[in-house]
Amino acid sequence: MLQVFDLDLIDHAVAMSRQKSLLPEIASGEDDALLLCEHPPTITFGRKFKDVNLFVSRGDLIGQGFVLFEVDRGGDVTLHAPGQLVLYPLINLKRQDIGLREYLQKLEKVAVDLLGDFDIVAEGDDGNRGVWIGRRKIASIGIGVSRWVTYHGMGLNIRTDLSLFSRIRPCGLDVKMTSLKAELGCDVNMADIKSRVIIHFQKVFGY
């Protein structure tokens, strides 16, 4: 079974606290969980962060209204903002009987299948984790694992203000970020996207 929590727009720190509270429960046998949310403008620094990938000083970012966090996920620097749908799956990998590589591929497939609903061809990349439409990146992934339970997850740009990404080198890559809205050329309904994501997530992971 899968517990699904729609947290709407929520501070990154609160979402992290929610994940950390669920981790021991799921490791001990409770059902896996999927948290869906959006964050206010937030920049997070993963374990592989390099200063060269930040184009604006931390002080200036705070002055511009960003919240900054150093987090215990893999990867470099990532940006969250309203209009980006964040998926935080807490999956017991032993119970699912999958390894990290397969888990990441499945997580990418959820986004690929969602985009397929809109006739957008996308793919994951084992070399540079995330989801890509050609050379444009639409989803970033960074995870952590505790007692074989995953946390952190994927940020999928639905109707994000893409100009915000000019402040960082996303995931340490010289890449153009895109969104579902940008690709379609029209606005999209976040509630509809969430419903579709839940369905695709359940199918891909076998719930």
Q: Identify the active-site residue in 171, 182, 197, 198.
A: 171
- Contacts with 163 (C-beta within 8 Å, 6 or more apart), sequence order: none
| Residue 163, phi then psi, degrees to nearest 5 | -65, -25
Residue 127 near residue 171 (C-beta atoms within 8 A): no
Known catalytic membership, residue 171 = yes
Q: In terms of DSSP bridges, do strands 2-9 and 77-80 run parallel, antiparallel, or are they unpaired?
A: unpaired
Q: If you write DSSP's letter for every residue of 57-111 in order, what string do you get? A: -HHHHHHTT-EEEE-SSSSSEEEE-TTEEEEEEE-BHHHHT--HHHHHHHHHHHH
3-class DSSP state for residue 139? strand
* Catalytically active residues, by annotation: 171
